[in-house]
């Protein structure tokens, strides 16, 4: 299935252009210190594995830093993980845990950070994977048990705004 | 339409008709199978040999104590003869001194586990390997380490040590020799790398054997990627143990071999015990068979033994290992010549630059998973071309070398065998070229 224009543009400029043989985009470089929380999610559709690991450091209140490791991820996973990492760095733990990623209305700030056009559904799917994984990494940091990952709807390849219009 | 060979490889195309899987079609096209470092296809003689067991003498070949023929059974006797001939074929393949040095196992992994569990290692002993060992030659030793740590009450106890490979991933004999010390009980190394095909020369193996013997240790060779591709003579090499699997040389799945010098097998503790491993038992005691019987617990895979012998005959006699070797190298030279010029910040080849040092393997790596996914997808969907993606069971090395840049799992391996052609390699190179030159045109949501 084709990659949305928004994901393609973000990926080309922020991920691909910063990747090299001895270089990874800043959010995909390892932490310099041992992480205090981590979680791995497999957002697998088709042939890519999309295994994303989130590692973070934090204190009692905030995420002080976080990094990502992507195993054979597709462009949407890379782009969405990068957006979420920038959003979460320095953010208060309670705020991260309070977010309901399954409510598409809560994803608006992330779509805005991704850039347009529209609200592509391939990004919606991966934002949900990444945010749910982030919450579980935060719970791991707080040494709290994490609930199982909920089912996330496979993306339609369309734009959420187009679907709204059809209604 | 397959093109004529131009790479100088021996023309082995006549053998393609022996492989039923190559006659299959999907979307009107035949398969292009380049995942041979994992599992090869099987020729008809091997399939027929396996079937022959089930059709001709589908019975038990055991029930006989060492040296005592108390099995009087038409099918059983025929099966025993077949088993012996199969073991003799392995002995001849490896140049072993005696059939008692050949132990049937399920695969290389089980063979190495047998040695790891059977040696009487003590806290303070060390097992040495390279940083690039396959999980089958790493995890069994880490498990030994875990047990000895518990026994010694020392969670920091180091049993399994490693030495670095060369910068290009090739074997560094100087580092290996320097790492062998007075506490080295086992040197367990790959004869050829599962990751990039890097070869360890026979001269190097002999030097390693001499050095490890000087300190009273043994040399175990993980030959899973070498025995199917080149002549291996255990006596000439001076190895103490050698393990390989038949599924990488046209043979059946679930069949492997542990070669062990008889004196070492005699000293090895049994691994899986029970039926057929014993000369006799009493209610409170057991007398084990001599090797190899003591290591072959339970009803054996007799069909697999027949298939193994057929595979050996096919690869070494029908085709010829020298021919296989020359064919591998010629095709890899072609692949390397086409793919190396495509290297850039987002795409490169792993392992030594010289194709001749990588056998029949060429492994591509990328800074982004999307390129690897695109090559794999387009090869499969457009050309039925099968590759292997990921970490190839060499996770530890890839994590150590490539986690920093996030590229540890972005690898794609192409590996050739006797039935592959230059035309098939050309298809792969064309796909890679299209993707690497315009990667952003090939993004997909996989």
Question: The CATH number of the domain where B18 resides is what?
Answer: 3.90.1150.10
Is the residue at B382 inside a domain? yes
Work out the pLDDT band at B9, boundaries 50, 70, 90: confident
* Interface-testing mutation among A42, A47, A50, with chain B (most B C-beta atoms within 10 A): A47
Same domain for B78 and B169, yes or no, is yes
Same domain for B77 and B147, yes or no, is yes
Q: Are A143 and A93 in contact (CB under 8 A)?
A: no
Of A44, A75, A70, nearest to A149 by C-alpha is A44
Q: What is the pLDDT of residues B351-386, one digit of tens each?
A: 999 999 999 999 999 988 889 989 999 999 999 999
Q: Are A82 and A99 in contact (CB under 8 A)?
A: no
Same domain for B275 and B311, yes or no, is yes
Chosen domain end from B273, B300, B316: B316
Chosen domain end from B263, B298, B316: B316
Is the residue at B1 inside a domain? no
Work out the pLDDT band at A167, boundaries 50, 70, 90: very low
N-terminal to C-terminal alpha carbon distance within chain A? 24
Q: What is the pLDDT of residues A79-125, one digit of tens each?
A: 999 999 999 999 999 999 999 999 999 999 999 999 978 899 999 99
B60 is catalytic: no
Please indicate whether, in this complex, the C-beta atoms of B445 and A3 are within 8 angstroms of each other.
Answer: yes
| Whether A44 contacts chain B with CB within 8 A | no
Q: Is the pLDDT of residue B2 over 60?
A: no
Same domain for B312 and B326, yes or no, is no
Q: What is the pLDDT of residues B180-233, one digit of tens each?
A: 999 999 999 999 999 999 999 999 999 999 999 999 999 999 999 999 999 999
Q: Is the pLDDT of residue B139 over 80?
A: yes
DSSP-H helix ranges across A11-159: 75-88, 93-98, 108-114, 121-141
Same domain for B37 and B142, yes or no, is no
Average pLDDT over residues B153-162: 96
**Residue B422 structural domain:** 13-41+320-442
What's residue A45's pLDDT?
56
Please indicate whether, in this complex, the C-beta atoms of B369 and A21 are within 8 angstroms of each other.
Answer: no
Same domain for B117 and B209, yes or no, is yes
| Whether B167 contacts chain A with CB within 8 A | no
Structure token pair of residue B271: 């691994």
Is the residue at A98 inside a domain? yes
Dist. CA B107–CA B94, nearest whole Å: 16
List of E strands, B118-206: 126-130, 160-163, 184-190
Q: Is the pLDDT of residue B240 over 80?
A: yes
Q: Are A71 and B369 in contact (CB under 8 A)?
A: yes
Is the residue at B352 inside a domain? yes
Same domain for B274 and B423, yes or no, is no
User: Among A92-96, B164-168, B310-314, B439-443, whose mean pLDDT is lowest?
Assistant: B439-443
What's residue A74's pLDDT?
84
Work out the pLDDT band at B444, boundaries 50, 70, 90: confident
Please indicate whether, in this complex, the C-beta atoms of B445 and A29 are within 8 angstroms of each other.
Answer: no
Please indicate whether, in this complex, the C-beta atoms of B440 and A12 are within 8 angstroms of each other.
Answer: yes
Same domain for B203 and B246, yes or no, is yes
List the CATH number of the domain containing A75. 3.90.1010.10
Is the residue at B5 inside a domain? no
What's residue B370's pLDDT?
85
Contacts of B362 (CB under 8 A, 6+ apart): B197, B332, B335, B336, B339, B349, B351, B355, B413, B414, B415
Same domain for B400 and B339, yes or no, is yes
Is the residue at A152 inside a domain? no
Same domain for B223 and B349, yes or no, is no
Domain count, chain B: 2
Dist. CA B350–CA B364, nearest whole Å: 6
Same domain for B254 and B372, yes or no, is no
**Residue A110 structural domain:** 19-145
Is the residue at B6 inside a domain? no
Same domain for B272 and B389, yes or no, is no
What's residue A162's pLDDT?
81
Is the residue at B219 inside a domain? yes
Please indicate whether, in this complex, the C-beta atoms of B404 and A78 are within 8 angstroms of each other.
Answer: no
What's residue A166's pLDDT?
47
Q: Is the pLDDT of residue B166 over 60?
A: yes
| Whether B439 contacts chain A with CB within 8 A | yes
What's residue B75's pLDDT?
92
Is the residue at B173 inside a domain? yes
Work out the percent of chain B whose per-residue pLDDT is above 70.
96
| Whether B368 contacts chain A with CB within 8 A | yes
Q: Is the pLDDT of residue B165 over 80?
A: yes
- Nearest residue, CB atoms, B367 vs list A1, A19, A76: A19
Chosen domain end from B316, B348, B378: B316
Closest residue in A to B346 (Cα) is A20
What's residue A23's pLDDT?
83
Is the residue at B18 inside a domain? yes
Domain count, chain A: 1
DSSP-H helix ranges across chain A: 5-10, 75-88, 93-98, 108-114, 121-141, 160-166
Q: Tell whether ipTM is more than 0.90.
A: no
């Amino acid at each position: 299935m084709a990659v949305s224009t928004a994901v393609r543009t973000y990926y080309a400029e922020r991920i691909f252009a910063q990747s090299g043989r001895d270089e990874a985009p800043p959010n995909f470089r390892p932490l310099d210190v041992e992480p205090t929380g981590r979680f791995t999610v497999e957002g697998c559709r088709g042939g890519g594995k999309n295994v994303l690991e989130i590692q973070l450091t934090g204190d009692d209140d905030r995420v002080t830093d976080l990094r990502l490791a992507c195993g054979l991820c597709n462009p949407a996973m890379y782009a969405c993980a990068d957006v979420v990492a920038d959003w979460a760095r320095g953010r208060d733990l309670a705020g991260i845990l309070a977010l309901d990623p399954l409510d598409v209305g809560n994803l608006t700030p992330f779509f805005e950070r991704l850039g347009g056009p529209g609200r592509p559904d391939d990004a919606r799917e991966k934002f949900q994977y990444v945010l749910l994984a982030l919450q579980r990494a935060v719970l791991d940091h707080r040494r709290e048990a994490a609930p199982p990952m909920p089912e996330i709807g496979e993306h339609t390849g369309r734009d959420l705004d187009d679907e709204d219009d059809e209604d | 339409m397959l093109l004529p060979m131009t790479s100088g490889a021996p023309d082995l195309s006549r053998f393609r008709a022996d492989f039923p899987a190559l006659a299959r079609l999907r979307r009107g096209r035949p398969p292009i199978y380049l995942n041979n470092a994992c599992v090869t296809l099987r020729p008809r003689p091997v399939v027929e040999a396996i079937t022959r067991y089930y059709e001709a003498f589908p019975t038990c070949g055991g029930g006989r104590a060492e040296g005592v023929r108390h099995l009087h059974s038409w099918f059983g006797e025929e099966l025993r003869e077949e088993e012996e001939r199969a073991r003799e074929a392995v002995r001849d393949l490896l140049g072993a001194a005696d059939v008692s040095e050949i132990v049937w196992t399920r695969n290389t992994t089980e063979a190495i586990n047998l040695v790891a569990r059977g040696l009487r290692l003590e806290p303070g002993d060390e097992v040495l390997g390279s940083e690039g060992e396959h999980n089958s030659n790493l995890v069994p030793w880490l498990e030994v380490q875990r047990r000895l740590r518990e026994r010694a009450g020392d969670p920091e106890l180091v049993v399994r040590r490693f030495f670095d490979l060369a910068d290009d991933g090739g074997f560094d004999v100087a580092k290996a020799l320097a790492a062998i010390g007075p506490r080295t009980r086992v040197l367990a190394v790959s004869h050829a790398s599962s990751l990039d095909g890097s070869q360890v020369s026979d001269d190097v193996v002999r030097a390693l054997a001499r050095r490890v013997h000087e300190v009273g240790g043994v040399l175990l060779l993980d030959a899973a990627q070498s025995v199917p591709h080149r002549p291996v003579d255990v006596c000439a090499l001076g190895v103490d143990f050698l393990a390989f699997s038949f599924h990488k040389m046209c043979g059946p799945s679930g069949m492997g071999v542990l070669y062990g010098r008889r004196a070492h097998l005699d000293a090895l503790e049994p691994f899986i015990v029970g039926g057929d491993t014993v000369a006799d038992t009493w209610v409170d005691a057991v007398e084990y068979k001599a090797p190899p019987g003591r290591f072959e617990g339970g009803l054996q895979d007799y069909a697999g033994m027949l298939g193994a012998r057929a595979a050996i005959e096919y690869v070494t006699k029908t085709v010829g290992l020298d021919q296989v070797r020359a064919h591998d190298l010629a095709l890899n030279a072609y692949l390397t010549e086409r793919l190396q010029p495509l290297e850039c910040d987002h795409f490169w080849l792993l392992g030594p630059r010289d194709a001749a040092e990588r056998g029949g393997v060429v492994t591509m790596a990328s800074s982004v998973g999307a390129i690897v996914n695109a090559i794999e997808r387009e090869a499969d969907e457009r050309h039925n071309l099968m590759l292997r993606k990921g970490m190839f069971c060499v996770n530890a090395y890839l994590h150590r070398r490539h986690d920093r840049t996030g590229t540890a799992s972005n690898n794609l391996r192409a590996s050739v065998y006797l039935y592959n052609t230059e035309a098939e390699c050309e298809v792969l190179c064309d796909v890679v070229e299209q993707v690497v030159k315009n990667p952003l045109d090939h993004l997909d949501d996989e």
